[in-house]
Amino acid sequence: MTIDEALWRAVPLLKTSCENPLFEAELLLAHHLGRERLYLHAHSDETIEDIDGFRTLIKRREAHEPYEYIVGKCSFYDIELEVEAGVLIPRPETELLINEASVIIDQQKITHLVEIGVGSGAISIVLARKFPQLEITATDISEAALRIARKNSIAHGVAKRITFVKSNLMDEVKADAQMVVSNPPYIANDFRLEKNVFEYEPHCALFGGEAGHELLAQILHDTNQRGVGWLVCEMGCDQFEPIQKLFSDIGVKYQKFYQDLAGLDRGFVVGFNQ
């Protein structure tokens, strides 16, 4: 079967699971052949030797498995990261958290920070690359996440400055932190997620409790108790009110909610002692 024929057979199969079936079929075929996508257009009459291998990839995507798990990698900020089932695929909105955290790290000359819930390592690795003076302690409860994050940190040459700790939140972190960053699970337990997320991504990375913001509340409480100076977190777009109440209860000195390009609340920056 030629490249062209294989693509046109794959497209109808991907219509339910993909917004852009032709584009994803091309990406999967390019991945299968170990070529760039453009190669397909210049060689559309070429015969595909392992057509069954390509069919298997299409079947997985047809069953709503995320593209990133099928190819084992994803793009985030300015880097590529390895991902696998059991480790959350980093989302574009988390790049906003990097920008907010970078402002504080720069202004406050932060040299040690803690990330709670490191996942694939996306946040810690990008921050370590941006700030060569930064030492990071990164926690997670998931062995799979810690293993992949460590692997990604080696691939990006920052492993020496990130210490990975298996820990509930910051419980096992002994060192003092000037700043904490976190994109914790914050989705309410009964929220209906899309099939590709609910059936394939780790629930421990998604669901934050009955209301959703329980872990955010615990992180705010813990960082305040430990005398951490700054906290930057991602949050759900419907969590402004409960989080604002938590700020008032604690009496934070500085607070800022940041929004995404659609104007939805996406996270916050808190200064405890300023």
Ligand X SMILES: C[S@@+](CC[C@H](N)C(=O)[O-])C[C@H]1O[C@@H](n2cnc3c(N)ncnc32)[C@H](O)[C@@H]1O
Is the distance from CB of 222 to CB of 87 less than 8 angstroms?
Answer: no
Q: How far is the CB of 46 from ligand X (least distance, A)?
A: 37
201 belongs to the binding site for ligand X (CB under 6 A): no
Distance CA 245, CA 266 (A): 17
Question: Which of 13, 51, 96, 141 lies at the binding interface for ligand X (CB under 6 A)?
Answer: 141
How many whole angstroms separate alpha carbon 266 and alpha carbon 257? 7
Helix axes 240-250, 214-225, angle to 10 degrees: 20
**Nearer Cβ to ligand X (2/189):** 189
Span near ligand X by CB under 6 A; candidates 35-43, 86-94, 156-164, 245-253: 86-94
CA neighbor of 138 nearest in space, from 101, 175, 103: 175
| 101 touches ligand X by CB under 6 A | no
- Nearer to ligand X by Cβ, of 207 and 272: the residue is 207
Q: Does 267 bind ligand X (CB under 6 A)?
A: no
**At closest approach, how far in Å is the CB of 108 from ligand X?**
21
Can you tell me the distance from the alpha carbon of 124 to that of 159, in angstroms, rounded to the nearest whole number? 10
Query: Are the beta carbons of 82 and 151 closer than 8 angstroms?
Result: yes
140 lies in the binding site for ligand X (CB under 6 A): yes
Q: Is residue 185 close enough to count as binding ligand X by CB under 6 A? A: yes
Neighbouring C-beta atoms of residue 22, cutoff 10 Å: 13
Using CB under 6 A as the binding rule, whether residue 116 contacts ligand X is answered as yes
Position 142 contacts ligand X (CB under 6 A): yes
Binding footprint of ligand X on the chain (CB under 6 A): 88, 90, 94, 116-120, 122-123, 139-142, 145, 168-169, 183-185, 204-205
